[in-house]
Amino acid sequence: MNNLNHEIRRYFQQQLELYPENVFLADKKPKAEKKSMEKENILEDLYSRIGDCTSCALAEKCNQKVPGHGKTDTRLMLIGEAPGREEDKQGLPFVGKSGKLLDKILAAIELKREQIYISNIVKCRPPENRNPRQEEIQKCIGFLQEEIEVVDPDIIVALGLTASRNLLNSDSSLKQLRQEDHTYQGKILIPTYHPSALLQNPSYKRPTWEDFKKVKKLYFGE
């Protein structure tokens, strides 16, 4: 057996030396795994640049930057507005009260956050949880666009008015935006209410549930 293995190795070595253009060796890693690793490497570099960013005043006041997080090979991406207090502490998106409610919403459509990717329009917490200003969004949204390009989801859910308006380049109300069909860079985009709005106004729960039923149908192809 050892002699046979030796002969096989010698044969392939000879073929490689004689015909380097025509010898193909199987890649040990499946294509899907390689693609996922490539995405993670690209995002790791992006996260490093986000961490070093000082483009606006938010960077001076936040505890830490909060880039997107989740599965890189996914059909679904959720985009919120900005990190809150808990997100600023932990460095992860949607880990406070809004995040817990979001987990319940996802569970209701038979999904877990481990199956999707979540990010925000801006990566730093605005003081006192105020809405991010337009100049701050313009400085930061390029990072989000890079995340979208790398993750390449089929479906994007914009959580809240800030995310919806900036992704759709619109000044319409969220109620009006929800009544229309949208795409963003060729991807289906569904605007809906932010979980924090549901905590403050329970009347938003039903329309949000209607929106996420659409998400479920698109995600699972029902």
pLDDT of residue 150: 97
Q: Is residue 20 part of a domain?
A: no
The pTM for the full model equals 0.84
**Amino acid sitting at position 32:** A
Q: Is residue 109 part of a domain?
A: yes
pLDDT of residue 37: 85
Q: Is residue 153 part of a domain?
A: yes
167 three-class SS: helix
How many domains are there within the chain? 1
pLDDT of residue 12: 58
Q: Is residue 158 part of a domain?
A: yes
pLDDT of residue 24: 47
pLDDT of residue 16: 61
Place of tokens 């979001």: 102
125 three-class SS: coil
Structural domain containing residue 172: 29-220
Q: Beta-carbon neighbour count of residue 24 at 10 Å?
A: 6
Q: What is the dihedral of CA 67, 71, 131, 203, to 10 degrees?
A: -160
Q: What is the CATH number of the domain that holds 187?
A: 3.40.470.10
Question: Which of 121, 13, 9, 127 lies closest to 62 in space, CA to CA?
Answer: 127
Q: Is residue 147 part of a domain?
A: yes
Q: Is residue 215 part of a domain?
A: yes
202 burial (CB, 10 Å; 0-12 / 13-18 / 19+) is exposed
For each successive 10 residues of the chain (222 residues), what is the average pLDDT?
Answer: 60 63 53 80 96 95 96 97 96 96 98 97 95 96 97 98 97 97 97 97 97 97 79
Integer Cα distance of 143 and 68 in angstroms: 10
User: What are the respective helix, strand and coil percentages of the chain, to the nearest 5?
Assistant: 55, 10, 35
Q: Is residue 202 part of a domain?
A: yes
Note whether 122 and 136 are within 8 A (CB).
Answer: yes
Contacts of 197 (CB under 8 A, 6+ apart): 160, 204
Q: Is residue 24 part of a domain?
A: no
Place of tokens 């905590």: 199
Integer Cα distance of 162 and 160 in angstroms: 6
